[in-house]
Amino acid sequence: MLTVTAPAKVNLHLEVLGLRSDGFHELAMVMQSIDLADSLQFTNTADAQITLRCDDPSLSTGADNLVLKAAMLLRSRSGFSELGVSMHLEKRIPIGAGLAGGSSDGAAALVGLNALWGLGYTPAALESMAAELGSDMPFCVAGGTQLCFGRGELLEPVAPTTEGLAVLLVKDPLVSVSTPWAYQRCKELKGMDYLEGEMAFEQCRQNLREAPWLQPLRAECPPPLRNDLQVVVAPETQAVQASLQLLKMLPNTLAVAMSGSGPSCFALFRDQDQCDQAAADLGPQLKAAGLKAWTCSFRSDGVRIAS
């Protein structure tokens, strides 16, 4: 048996630059792994059967699940059609939350099965396969702090934070946001302001590379937490409005924003003690608003074999 941890991510920066020739949005992002993580367990069966079970009955374990898609892709590339595996997913990352939980689980399948089946693919090869399955998946393989360009699949590592920055994450467990809807809504509302052409895109990428707050991440120069999807999702999602309002009330926050396409929102704190205290202070208001909270720290890696 093999176990792989699959951490969530938050977006420290999500800038929608414009439209690409393939119809996807061109993005300039900084993504950060956090220690809220799922766990994926593997048992080698060598019977050509690939199966998945999950402790959360609301999650599909059929062919649409990225764990199964990743497993099928990896086996196909290996050329060994007799390979089999039984997988069990323990969910901790909320579903449909803008935290890349599904992508991280799929990345965990690639990393875990590469080891379990002894295939010997390099991390770069796994990231390339991950990009075929989802824009966030290469980041989930690599993890840590990364500049993410293109659709999000083009990675440039950033020096890890020199301090223990902490995250208070909140989400309404009854609300999810469709990522395709969020980008479509962004195009409808903001498309007239989109940049055009590779030269304009590259200038934005370079500006982000040179941002002072990335030299490296530290509490003295906290990230400004830009998210271009927040301005289109929040007005139409009450849970996002409530989450942002409550987080902005807290003392000692460095910055507050929505993650990804939402509806999860988060606040950054200088250290874990301040974060834990903020979560305790906000507890009654969170309960009254129907919000669930997690206190998390930054991780310097992505999916990793735990045992």
Q: Active-site positions?
A: 9, 136
What residues contact 104, with CB distance under 8 A and at least 6 apart?
6, 7, 8, 9, 37, 38, 93, 136, 140, 302, 303
| Selection from 96, 57, 63, 86 nearest residue 176 by Cα | 96
Return d(Cα 90, Cα 55) in angstroms, integer: 6
DSSP H helices, 16-118, are: 66-78, 101-116
Which residue(s) pair with 203 in the sheet? none
How many C-beta neighbours within 10 Å does residue 28 have? 24
Cα separation of 171 and 239, whole Å? 8
The dihedral region occupied by 144, where left means phi > 0, alpha psi between -120 and 50, and beta the remainder, is left
What residues pair up with 167 in beta bridges, in sequence order? 268, 296
Answer yes or no: are the C-beta atoms of 303 and 4 closer than 8 Å: yes
Query: How many of the other CB atoms lie within 10 Å of CB of 210?
Result: 9
For residues 190 and 19, the answer to whether their CB atoms sit within 8 Å is: no
